[in-house]
Amino acid sequence: MCNRYIHKIDKEMNPNALLAEIMTPMPHTIDPETKLTEIYKIFETNSFHHIPVVNEGRLVGMISREDFIQIEHVLTTSWAGNLNTESTFENFNAQDIMTEYPMHLGPEDTIGLAADIVLTNKFHALPIIEDDLLVGIVTSHDLIAFAYSSPVEHTASQ
Amino acid sequence: MFDKHIEVREIMTRKVITVSSDQTMDQAAEVFESRDLHHIPVVDDGKVVGMLSTTDLHKVTHHFTLFKVHNSDVVNQSVLRSLLTREVMTSPVATIQTSCSLETVASIFRENLFHALPVIESNGDLAGIVTPFDLMNYAYGPDEFELTESHHKKMV
């Protein structure tokens, strides 16, 4: 299993490459009024763990899956253990639970800078902003893939 | 210099804090808290039998803990005391051998949703643990050069 990937030519990993190269452009976003029921569905049906909250294209917050799961716990069960109805979820929206004004970078910033920030702060996602508008997102997965992945045709030859 | 083909044993965390499968969850909770960990391998006789993550702990923790209600602490303590780690842990878990390349480890993290991999010797004993942060740190971290130097010393 350890030899599953066949190595051919490696190009040097360059931490000065730009984030534009590895970011996920146009990520799934929600607006501040999005109900928790809706956010729940998004996390259930997608594999990503972070959703930027935007207001007319401008980033106002971030919601991580982990934050959401903790809030979900609180809202789902009362002290007595009975289930609250969906209406509890309808009463809250994205702006109630989001992390406001998260740290962000631009597409012209370097991959090395993003890695420093992620390593120092121990969070996993950085929104990418250009001219005040959200244009992408970079996660620790993207940074690891950039450093460790072979180009696609290499892995295809396994 | 950065080399993604080195073996995972070079960058894994060797001093792994573990619990056994017959310890109670309140003991595990204390380990999570005092060591600021997110993952603890559950190990019996040197072999990994499961993994406990903070998410597993949250699942059995009282829902009002976030509000710091006094009662929730009392309930938490009695619930955690009555649960064994083996009842809460994720099992079976993926493991990798110490000789796996970093590239392979990265691909395993990419294809799966977990964030920690126990690393085992060829006889199956736990040798260490590796997380995406270890991969990030090796690729981008400030101590990259120092780390590589110590590899060379080891190889000589």
Q: How far is Cα B21 from Cα B84, in angstroms, rounded to an integer?
A: 7
Of B58, B69, B140, the CB nearest to A15: B140
DSSP letters along B79-147, please?
Answer: HHHH-BHHHHSB-S---EETT-BHHHHHHHHHHSS-S-EEEE-TTSBEEEEE-HHHHHHHHH-TTHHHH
Q: Which of residues 72-131 of A touch B (CB under 8 A)?
A: 73-74, 76-79, 111-112, 115-116, 118-119, 122
In a domain, A91, yes or no: yes
pLDDT in tens, B33-56: 898 888 999 999 999 999 999 888
What is the per-residue pLDDT for B154? 38
Q: Which residue has the higher pLDDT, B12 or A78?
A: B12
Q: Which residues contact A89 (CB under 8 A, 6 or more apart)?
A: A35, A36, A37, A40, A75
* Residues on chain B touching A143 (C-beta within 8 angstroms): 136, 139-140
Q: Which residues contact B63 (CB under 8 A, 6 or more apart)?
A: A73, A74, A76, A77, A78, A79, B72
In a domain, A43, yes or no: yes
CATH number of the domain to which A108 belongs: 3.10.580.10
pLDDT in tens, B50-99: 999 988 888 787 655 556 567 777 778 888 999 999 999 999 999 999 99
**Domains in chain A, number:** 1
pLDDT in tens, B105-136: 999 988 887 789 999 999 999 999 999 999 99
B52: its two tokens: 């406990």
**Which chain B residue shows the shortest CA-CA distance from A72?**
B63
**Which chain A residue shows the shortest CA-CA distance from B102?**
A148
What is the per-residue pLDDT for A89? 74
Q: Where are the beta strands (DSSP E) in chain A?
A: 24-25, 50-55, 58-64, 99-100, 125-130, 133-139
Q: Which residues contact A54 (CB under 8 A, 6 or more apart)?
A: A29, A30, A31, A60, A134
**A102 backbone dihedrals φ, ψ, rounded to 5°:** -70, 160
In a domain, A126, yes or no: yes
**Which chain A residue shows the shortest CA-CA distance from B55?**
A66
Nearest to B97 by CA among A35, A2, A12, A147: A2
Q: How far is Cα B9 from Cα B50, in angstroms, rounded to an integer?
A: 20
**A interface test, pick of B3, B117, B135, B140 with most A CB neighbours within 10 Å:** B140
Q: How far is Cα A93 from Cα A115, in angstroms, rounded to an integer?
A: 31
CA A110, distance to chain mean position in Å, is 18
In a domain, A8, yes or no: no
Nearest to A21 by CA among A131, A145, A104: A145
CB contact under 8 A, B139 and A69: no
**Topology, domain B8-155:** CBS-domain (3.10.580)
What radius of gyration, in Å, describes the C-alpha atoms of chain A? Answer: 19
Nearest-Cα distance to chain B for A21, in Å, is: 17
In a domain, A58, yes or no: yes
* Residues on chain A touching B134 (C-beta within 8 angstroms): none
- Reading chain A (158 residues) residue by residue, the pLDDT tens digits are 454 444 444 556 788 899 999 999 999 999 999 998 899 899 989 988 999 999 999 999 999 988 887 777 666 655 554 555 566 777 889 999 999 989 999 999 999 999 999 999 888 899 999 999 999 999 999 999 999 985 543 333 32
In a domain, A69, yes or no: yes
Nearest to A143 by CA among B32, B56, B137, B87: B137
* Residues on chain A touching B56 (C-beta within 8 angstroms): none
What is the per-residue pLDDT for A4? 45
Q: Are A107 and A66 in contact (CB under 8 A)?
A: no
Domain span holding position A116: 19-149
What is the per-residue pLDDT for A150? 58
- Look at residue B52 and give its three-state secondary structure: strand
In a domain, A154, yes or no: no
CB contact under 8 A, B69 and A141: no
pLDDT at B142 over 80: no
In a domain, A23, yes or no: yes
CA A76, distance to chain mean position in Å, is 24
Q: Which residues of B27-58 are buried (b: 16+ CB within 10 A; e: fewer)?
A: ebbeebeeeebbbbbbbeeeebbbbbbbbbbe
